[in-house]
Chain A
């Protein structure tokens, strides 16, 4: 199984700052099939990025994804209070389609 390790576990930043979230895979993610989700309490997860760098429908360009192989990054360019959430990466290149443990984003 591919293990995804996200860092940091918690990220605390101020509005307007840039957030950089990391997702490292224990082995190469086939086809670059890496997604990022935003998950707020009491809500369903929301797809942000698919294929490592493609924004999902309706996702603002303040969200961007990059990376390949075993190292992937989600960047939020200008933080807003509404970005408070837990962010998960998921690889879907090989079964099981594992999730990372999540990065909690706090807004100061």
Chain B
């Protein structure tokens, strides 16, 4: 059974960066992709982008271009098991729950979510 386990809650100052991890078990996610989605308090789901764990290709939402970096721990001889999403230059309106999910579109397996709180 596929499981995605994310890192714990973070509290950051405005202007700082945060890096959230997403560890998969029950399968090797290469050549799957990992999508990142966030939900601000009282708001809906917002698609941030995805990373292809096989070739490292990324596709970011225009809104996050230049501030977000998605990576995996893929090495040449072992399947990737962990994905990362780093968001830089944090603002107060980046306060949200961040989710990772397996696949690109129609994601059936999700992490539990990571709350990132940004304050001054």
Contact = CB atoms under 8 A, between A and B. Distances in A.
Given A35-B106, A45-B99, A88 B45 contact: yes
Interface residues of B, number: 22
B102 to A, nearest CB: 10
A interface, over-half SS: loop
Interface of A: 1, 33, 35, 37, 39, 44-47, 50-51, 56-57, 86, 88, 90, 92-93, 95-102
Contact of A96 (B44, B62, B111): B62
B105 A97 contact: yes
10 contacts: A37-B45, A45-B45, A47-B107, A57-B108, A92-B106, A96-B49, A96-B61, A96-B62, A97-B104, A102-B45
Given A33-B105, A45-B110, A47-B108, A88 B44 contact: yes
B105 A100 contact: no
Contacts of B32: none
A67 B77 CA distance: 44
A99 B39 CA distance: 11
Contacts of B62: 1, 96
A92 B105 CA distance: 5
A99 B44 contact: yes
